[in-house]
Chains A and B, each alone.
Chain A
Amino acid sequence: MIFENKKEKYLFTLPAIFMVSITIYLPFLISSYYSLTEWNGIDREAKFIGLENFKTIFFENNQFFDVLIFTGNYTALFMLFSNLFALIIALVLVQKLKTAKLLRGIFFVPYIMSMIIVGFIWKFIFSQGFARLYEITELGLLNLSWLGNSELAFYSVVLVGVWQQLGFYIVLYIAGLQAIPGDLLEAATVDGANIFQKFFKITLPLLGPSITVCMFMSLTRGLKVFDIILALTQGGPGGSTYSATLDIYREAFQYNNYGLGSAKAIIFFIIVLILTQIVLKISRRNEVEL
């Protein structure tokens, strides 16, 4: 080909290679090294301590373990609700409704807002809005301490996370649904299939690629949850909504344990890597080709 042995292949890829090297690979490698040290971020030299940090994390207390459990629970519920509600709403919004276009836009609005702001809005709703709505409606549900009780706070964080992201998954499912050939569903109707048979035997299997993408996206975004928690609960009450990323952030930048923070970051990285591979494998296997 024309391009063989030309200097362009080095020249044109160089800027991209250079930028990812200094902003991602280099910090990542240094982090891996710091995970083997004790360092407060101020001293000139980090003290090499081998696998001490990992020992601390795994054997000395289960604080990081609790954090991972919260993150896992959050991610599981986040994935379930985002995908379930998004699919239901998408199924409604692909029908011939006069307002379908407007409604799609409305459901997408929270997604274009910064997650920090979304967290603050809901903090206001949970504290001020619910109190007033309770006075009017006397619905007991509104009188609960949604951010003050550790169990409820967990569900509040999930609710806000799903609320912010829902529009994104709706849009992806709508695209998936529109790609399903109409004559396939018509043929099934002619053959006497009812609405549920059509959904479970035709629509759902053919949605495979959309489901894979949505599952993958909701998994990685769920695991990385940070902004919403920082704005909404700051990890409280009593550390019950501490996510892995918030913990890594605090360990390094508030408690100045850069070594320990880096070790947690490496463990988090490995967990994310394994989970994403598993979810990709499972959903790819369930995809159906037309």
Chain B
Amino acid sequence: MKRNSRLKINYFILEVIAIIAAAIFIYPVFLMFINSFKTFREVIIDVIALPQQLNIDNYFYVIDKMNYPRLFVNNILITAVGITGIVAFSSLAAYIIDRSRSRFTSLAFLFIITPMLIPFQTFMITLLKVMNIINLSGSRVGLGIQYWGFGIPMATFIYFNFMKTVPKEIDESAFIDGATTFQTFIYVIFPILKPVTATVIVLDVMWIWNDFLLPLLMVNDSQKTKTLVLAAYNFVGQYNTQWHYAMTAMVLAIVPSLIFFVLLQKYIVKGVVAGSLKG
């Protein structure tokens, strides 16, 4: 009995410490939120105090100045195009690489996954040139397509590791029923791959949505193709003394990811773990 109650107190102390640590940890994010509701004067006088009233004028101003709806559509489009290609081409490649073990497929596998070891920054200089030539720079769809190449290596690797565990009898019975290889893939295999597809989507949405360097290289200053994060970067650079607007722009840039996270926390954490332990 005594031992139990001491253990309880220990847990209680541990819990209090953990809560305080987490509160300090997240305080910068909290500060950003409260300052986005303040007027310029309020920010200058006291950055820590809570706003006197919930003033959303900053939001109207920044949404209009940044052309937020347009950026939002851009981000959705680029991310959707990127994800679709990565999922389709990686799963297809992983499927045939696992099922048809030959010299060609093992070489193809090596060729596809090796770029995981090549840092983006080592070839970004000439990437821009190549993309200019084949007309993939400077458009939203083009940017989305570029992500195919950067996302396929890891996605193929993750799909392949899962494919190994899918019994071959499943496709054999589909063949006996007269399905072609492609039909087997679409109707039989791809549905089985669903958990891996979820992992790949979670990892790649977080990556593409927040990516900064590739849009910075490709988009320049064209309003039409700018992404959310890139626009926030330019906006904060321009308004670097008007912190109330800067904070609002930053909140607007992260709110979609935050909502995405709160709604899908379980899948996101699972996806991140699965993706890293296998990738």
Q: Known contacts being A24-B123, A121-B28, is A217 close to B150, with CB within 8 Å?
A: no
19 contacts between A and B (CB under 8 A): A16-B112, A17-B108, A20-B112, A23-B146, A24-B115, A27-B125, A28-B126, A31-B126, A112-B254, A113-B254, A121-B32, A124-B246, A128-B243, A217-B276, A223-B119, A224-B119, A231-B233, A248-B124, A273-B117
Q: State which of A6, A105, A210 has its C-beta within 8 Å of the C-beta of B100.
A: A6
Q: Is the CB of B92 within 8 A of A15?
A: yes
A20, A23, A107, A114: the one contacting B22 at CB < 8 Å is: A107
Q: Are A27 and B95 in contact (CB under 8 A)?
A: no
Chain A CB within 8 A of B188 CB: no
| Chain A-chain B contacts (Cβ-Cβ < 8 Å), number | 265
What B residues does A23 contact at CB under 8 A?
A: 127, 130, 146, 148-150
Is A161 at the interface (CB under 8 A from chain B)? no
- Residue of B14, B22, B260 near A95 (CB, 8 A) is B14
The answer to whether B123 touches A114, judged by C-beta atoms less than 8 angstroms apart, is no
Contact A114/B229 with A27-B127, A245-B121 known, Cβ cut-off 8 Å: yes
Inter-chain CA distance A19–B102, complex, in Å, is 22
Check: A239 CB closer than 8 A to any chain B CB.
no
Is residue A211 contacting chain B, with contact meaning CB distance below 8 A?
Answer: no
Interface residue B56 (Cβ < 8 Å from any Cβ of A) = no
B212 within 8 A of A: yes
* B276 CB → nearest A CB, Å: 6
CB-CB under 8 A from A210, the residues of chain B are 277
**Binary CB contact string for chain A from 210 to 234 against chain B (1 if under 8 A, 0 otherwise):** 1001000100100110110001000
CB contact under 8 A between A6 and B112, given known A99-B19, A112-B257? no
Task: Identify the stretch in A62-70, A73-81, A181-189, A264-272 within 8 Å (CB) of chain B at 4 or more residues.
Answer: A264-272
Give the top 3 A-B pairs by smallest Cβ distance, nearest first. Answer: A23-B149, A3-B100, A12-B96
> Who on chain B is nearest to A266 by CB?
B122
Is A109's CB under 8 angstroms from B29's CB?
yes
Q: Which residues of B contact A95 (CB under 8 A)?
A: 11, 14
A125 to B273, CA, bound (A): 31
B224 contacts A by Cβ under 8 Å:
no
The smallest beta-carbon distance between A247 and chain B, in angstroms, is: 10
A193 at the interface (CB under 8 A from B): no
The answer to whether A22 and B134 touch (CB under 8 A), given A9-B105, A12-B96, A13-B105, is: yes
Whether the Cβ atoms of A272 and B119 lie closer than 8 Å is yes
A28 to chain B, nearest CB (A): 4
Residue B18 at the chain A interface, CB threshold 8 Å? yes
Stretch at the interface among B58-66, B192-200, B264-272: B264-272
**Which residues of B pack against A, CB within 8 Å?**
11, 14-15, 17-19, 21-22, 25-26, 28-29, 31-32, 35, 43, 46-48, 85, 88-90, 92-93, 95-97, 99-102, 104-105, 108, 111-112, 115, 117-127, 129-130, 134, 146, 148-150, 152-153, 156, 171-172, 175, 181-182, 185, 206, 210, 212-213, 217, 229, 232-233, 236, 243, 246-247, 250, 253-254, 257-258, 260-261, 265, 268-269, 272-273, 276-277
Spell out A's residues near B (CB within 8 Å).
1-4, 6, 8-10, 12-13, 15-17, 19-20, 22-28, 30-31, 34, 89, 92-93, 95-99, 103-110, 112-117, 120-122, 124-125, 128-129, 132-133, 136, 163, 166, 168, 171-172, 175, 209-210, 213, 217, 220, 223-224, 226-227, 231, 244-245, 248-249, 252-253, 258, 261-262, 265-266, 268-269, 272-273, 276
Given contacts A19-B149, A248-B124, 9 further A-B contacts (CB under 8 A): A13-B105, A15-B88, A15-B93, A17-B93, A24-B149, A31-B122, A124-B47, A163-B28, A261-B125
Q: Which of A8, A112, A272 contacts B260 (CB 8 A)?
A: A112
